Amino acid sequence: MECRKRYTPNFVLDGREWGNATVPVVNVEAPGVLRAIVRGDTNILVNFDPANGKTGDFEVYLARLGFGLNINVRAGENNGRSLRHDFVVLSLTHEKLAPVSQELHFASSAVEAASRPDRIALAVWITNAGDIRPLQATGGWLPTNPSNTH
């Protein structure tokens, strides 16, 4: 990622810092079909079928997102406050994508009982190997299970 300085909020588009007010033109070329099937609490079956039979080395990213988290701050300028976050990345997994369906595992994250997320979602995206710009992405809400808070 190419960013000259770090600040919040920081927007990145196609692997580069984006601070421009103009919205870029959408790419109309279909890269292919990306499927992600949830199997159990931490396993995801991922398959990418490139358009027009294209081949190449791809990488897959899985991000588990927590929504509506309250965090008790223990240090710094917000020490003693409880801050609410719209969403937080709870875990991130990155692997080389096999040319056939591939089962991936994402790590279960430890979340304090006081800050359990209201909802959990999954974001999945693929890139060409060595390039952080997404080719295709998918995602959605994960089921809420009272016996499993991750």
Instruction: Give pLDDT < 50 ranges for the chain.
Output: 112-114, 146-150
Nearest 5°: the CA angle 67, 106, 69 is: 15
pLDDT of residue 96: 92
pLDDT of residue 150: 40
Please choose, from the candidates 3, 11, 136, the residue with its C-alpha nearest in 3D space to the C-alpha of residue 61: 136
Report whether 68 contacts 82 (CB < 8 A). no
pLDDT of residue 108: 56
pLDDT of residue 23: 74
- 104 vs 61: CA distance, rounded Å: 10
pLDDT of residue 149: 40
Q: How far lies 127's CA from each of 25, 61, 95, 97, in Å?
A: 20, 8, 11, 9
97 is written with which tokens? 């994508």
pLDDT of residue 130: 92
**CATH for the 32-141 domain, from 1.10.10, 2.60.40, 1.10.3470, 1.20.950:** 2.60.40
